[in-house]
Amino acid sequence: MATVSVQQVSKSYSGREVLARLDLDMTDGELICLLGPSGCGKTTLLRIIAGFIRPDSGMVHVAGADVTNLPPAARRMGMVFQAYSLFPNMSALDNVRFGPRVAGVARDEQVSRAKRLLDLVGLAEHAAKYPHQLSGGQQQRVALARALAVQPQVLLLDEPLSALDAKVRAQLREEIRRIQRETGITTVLVTHDQEEALSMSDRVAVMNAGRLLQVATPAAIYREPADAFVARFIGAAAVLPGVAADGHVHVDTIALPARAASAHPVGHPVEVFIRPEHVRLEAMNGHVPPGALAADVRETTFFGSLTRVRLALLDLPQADSIWADLPSERADAFRPGARVFASWDAGAPRVLARENIRE
């Protein structure tokens, strides 16, 4: 268990900057998730922390000690890889006791530690099995036990669930979180799956193009994205470009209620982000309720308990759709082609200045 501090870390490949003077501090026992699209630099950052990649500049501190120039084997970090990485010639038990074995721990202690950890990941009865006899989920659990067997200061998880099917992924997600809480090991998880990041992390670090855009709790990342990329990347949102007015954003000829627009100078170019769960729909019944906008239902998508309805606001270009999430039992009333009223609380939309937008 330890704090991790990444200070001004940069990395370039063939002149292309992959990480740009990046700073990140993690507290003891925290699970932080590096989230971003493919190629954003999250795996490079994890591999720099692990010691597999040497940064061009900057430092990595673990528990206050500079580990920037230490080889991976000397860093006492457990790592679980995206690819199945169990040693094929060893049983699950032998895989887990590999770390203690090469560290010269007494054999009895190796075995008892490995058995205890296999029990922790729920695979005590599979100790004698070889990797090819285990499912993908079981292999990753053994890999987790193996990483914990070296009693690491920091646990590094490089998209450990991405090769698994959805159901196993959901189970293992909860299990990793439980084990991380029980052991209290500072953990860095890399993922491009926002659901995984939001459900598992104490804090989420959103990255794009080698930069950290926002580091905050999952709720803050979702509700108060500091950056247009974060707002677009996390969750679903309709993004409409317009100009700020007092309590509204003017998009073409219509005014969209958005209290946050008041924080911007009137007439300033902004983008308004409207999440589907904030949009309410009512059937057209003659008069327009205050603050509501007329819209046509274009299509509906069934997600089980929820149905997502795509709407085209009247007087706006077809491309400027907004979405509304409705309980599926209510959604039958809003079929494609129906004309409806859409409304939302004026405090719900996020409004960001357009010059801040980075892609």
Partner 1 sequence: MNRLGVGSAIVLLLAAIYFFVPLAMTVAFSLWEGGSRYGLASYHVLLHRAELGSALVLSIELAVATAAALVVLLLPAMIFMNLYAPRLRPAFEFIASLPFVVPAIALVAGLTALFTGPDWLVGSPFYLVIPYFFLALPYAYRALDVGIRALDLTTLTEAGQSLGASLWQIIGLVVLPNLRSALIGSLLLTLAVIIGEFTFANVLLFDTFAVIMNQIGQHEATEAAALSVMAFLLTWAAMAGVLIVGRGRAQVGGAR
Question: Does 88 help bind partner 1 (rule: CB under 8 A)?
Answer: yes
Phi-psi category of residue 39: left, alpha or beta, with phi > 0 → left and psi -120 to 50 → alpha? left
Q: Is 116 in the site for partner 1 (CB under 8 A)?
A: no
Q: What is the rounded distance in angstroms from the CA atom of residue 161 to the CA atom of residue 143?
A: 12
Q: Is the backbone of residue 99 left (phi > 0), alpha (psi -120 to 50) or beta?
A: alpha
Cβ closer to partner 1: 57 or 133?
Answer: 133
Q: Minimum distance from CB of 77 to partner 1 (Å)?
A: 6
Q: How far, in Å, CA of 153 to CA of 12, rounded?
A: 28
| Residue 113 sits in the site that holds partner 1 (CB under 8 A) | no
- What's the helix, strand, coil split of the chain in %, to 5? 30, 35, 35
When the beta carbons of 27 and 133 are compared against partner 1, the nearer one is 133
Q: Does 13 bind partner 1 (CB under 8 A)?
A: no
Binding track over 127-146 against partner 1, x by CB under 8 A = ---xxxx---------x--x
The type of residue at 229 is F
State how far the Cα of 152 lies from the Cα of 356, in Å rounded to an integer.
40
Q: Which of residues 231-250 bind partner 1 (CB under 8 A)?
A: none
Structure tokens at 158: 């490089």
Please name the residue that has the structure tokens 């120039």.
Answer: 69
- What count of residues does the chain have? 359
Instruction: Extract the tokens encoding 112.
Output: 């008892």
The answer to whether 257 contacts partner 1 (rule: CB under 8 A) is no
Q: Hey, is 109 helix, strand or coil?
A: helix
Rule CB under 8 A: say whether 85 interacts with partner 1.
yes
Pick the binder of partner 1 from 21, 61, 84, 298 (CB under 8 A): 84
Tell which positions 21-50 bind partner 1, by CB under 8 A. 50
Instruction: Work out the number of other CB atoms within 10 angstroms of the CB of residue 337.
Output: 9
73 binds partner 1 (CB under 8 A): yes
- Contact pick of 156, 164, 244, 272 for partner 1 (by CB under 8 A): 156
Binding mask 164-203 for partner 1 (x = CB under 8 A): ----------------------------------------
Give contact residues for partner 1 (rule: CB under 8 A). Answer: 50-52, 71-79, 81, 83-89, 98-99, 102-103, 130-133, 143, 146-147, 149-150, 156
